[in-house]
Amino acid sequence: MRTSPHFVKPTPLQVVMLKVAAALIPGIAVYVWVFGAGILLQLLLATVTALGVEAACLKLRNYPIKPFITDGSAIVTAWLLALSLPPLSSWWMIVLATVIAIGLAKHLYGGLGQNPFNPAMIGFAVMIVSFPAQMSRWNAPLALPNADLNTWQQFGYIFTGKLPEGLAFDTLASATPLDAVKTALMQSHPMHDIFSGAIFQAGVLPSEMGWIAAAYLLGGLFLLQQRVIQWQLPMAFLGALAAFSSVFYLIDPAHYTSPVFHLFSGAAILGAFFIATDPVTAPTTPRGRLIYAGLIGLLTWLIRTYGGYPDGVAFAVIIMNIAAPFIDRYTQPAVFGRKKPTVTGKQGVKP
C-alpha cells in the first residue's frame, strides 16, 4: 500500500533473541582467543541449566513448556551471565548463578515480561556478594607465558578444581585492569596503547582486553543496525561514563583513569549494548531511556571509583531497574492531538 494506514508486523521474540545471540558471537570468539576454550564449557553449562530451570518453573506454574523454552530468552540470559563470570569459574558457580537468574530473578516475578530486574545481573550480583574470593580469580590471558593451559586442562579445572602437577592457580592468575586501578590508583594509557600493548604491567590495559570490547562493540552496532535496540540506551550509558571520567581525569590524572580506560575495560561495552538495553527492565520512552542509561553510566563510574567492587555495571543496572517504572511514568509524551497543561499567568491553566 502506498498510502496510510501502514501496519507494521511485530518481530517474533525468537528472531530478536537469535539476533542478540548472533551479536554476542564475535565477543565470544575473541574471548576464547584471549582466555581459552573454558568459556565454551561455561556457556554450555549455563545454557543447559537455564533451559532445565526454565522448563521446571513452567511445569510448576502449569504453563506450556515448548512455546516459552524455545523463545531464546533463557539462552541469552545464560550467555550474558556466563560471559560476566571469571573464565575458569567452578561448574557449581555457573549452575548456581543460572538457577538464581532464571528461577528467582525471572520466574519468581511471573516470568518473561514481568521481572523488574535484569536476571543475568541479579545472578552475577548474588555471586559476587556471596563468593567475592572466587569471583576475583581471573586467569591471565593466554598470551602470557605462564598461562599455558590447554583445553582439557581448563575443563578439568572447572569440574575438579585441580591443576596439572606442579602448577598453582596463582601462577595463572592476573589482576584485571579495574582491580589494579582500584587498589593502586594507577594511571591508564591512551587509546593506541590499548590495541598495541601486550602484557598488563603498571596499569596498562592489555591489547587482548581492548579487542574483546571492540568485538562486543561490533555486535552492538549490528543490533542497532537491525533496530533490535534503541540508540538512546547505549549512547547515554557510554556518554555519561565518558563525560564523568573525562572531567575527573582532566582534574587529577594521577588518581583518576582516562575515559578510554573506562570505556574499554570491564563490562562497559557489554553492559551498554546487551544489558542496559533489556526491553523488559528498561524504560520505554525516548527521554526516559536517556535518563535511565545516563544514570547507569554515572553509577558505574561512582562504583568503580569509590565503591568496594572493581566494576559497577551490574549494580548500576539493578539500581536503575528499580527506578525504570518511575522514569517511564514521568517522561510520557503528550497524547497525540492534545497539549500538555500550561500555566499562563492570571488566566489560569490552558488545556
Residue 103: per-residue pLDDT: 94
The angle at the Cα of 85, spanning 84 to 91, to the nearest 5 degrees, equals: 140
**Residue ranges per domain, the chain?**
11-174, 196-331
Is the distance from CB of 264 to CB of 217 less than 8 angstroms? no
State pLDDT tens for residues 153-199.
888 888 887 877 766 655 555 555 555 555 544 444 443 444 444 33
Alpha carbons 77 and 275: distance in angstroms, whole number:
10
More confident residue, 226 or 202: 226
Report the chain's mean pLDDT, rounded to a whole number.
82
Residue 203: band (very low, low, confident or very high) from pLDDT cuts 50, 70, 90: very low
Hunting for cell 589482576 — which residue is that?
A: 175
State pLDDT tens for residues 324-338.
999 999 988 777 666
Mean pLDDT of 27-49: 92
Residue 299: per-residue pLDDT: 95
Which residue from 223, 263, 225 is spatially nearest to 24, judged by alpha carbons? 223
Q: Does 348 have pLDDT greater than 60?
A: no
Question: Phi/psi of residue 139, each to 5°?
Answer: -75, 155
Residue 150: per-residue pLDDT: 79
Lookup: cell for 32:
576464547
Which residue from 169, 105, 114, 102 is spatially nearest to 138, judged by alpha carbons? 169
Q: Does 147 have pLDDT greater than 80?
A: no
State pLDDT tens for residues 84-141.
998 888 899 999 999 999 999 999 999 888 999 999 999 999 999 999 878 877 666 6
Q: Does 202 have pLDDT greater than 50?
A: no
Q: Does 246 have pLDDT greater than 90?
A: yes
State pLDDT tens for residues 251-262.
988 778 888 888
Q: Does 24 have pLDDT greater than 60?
A: yes
Is the distance from CB of 77 to CB of 102 less than 8 angstroms? yes
Alpha carbons 133 and 171: distance in angstroms, whole number:
16
Residue 350: band (very low, low, confident or very high) from pLDDT cuts 50, 70, 90: very low
Residue 274: per-residue pLDDT: 95
Residue 139: per-residue pLDDT: 65
User: Would you call 63 exposed, middle or buried from its count of C-beta atoms within 10 A (0-12, 13-18, 19+)?
Assistant: middle
Distances in Å between the alpha carbon of 17 and those of 71, 183, 262?
Answer: 7, 38, 28
Q: What is the pTM of this model?
A: 0.83
The crossing angle, in degrees rounded to 10, of helices 119-130 and 91-99 is 130
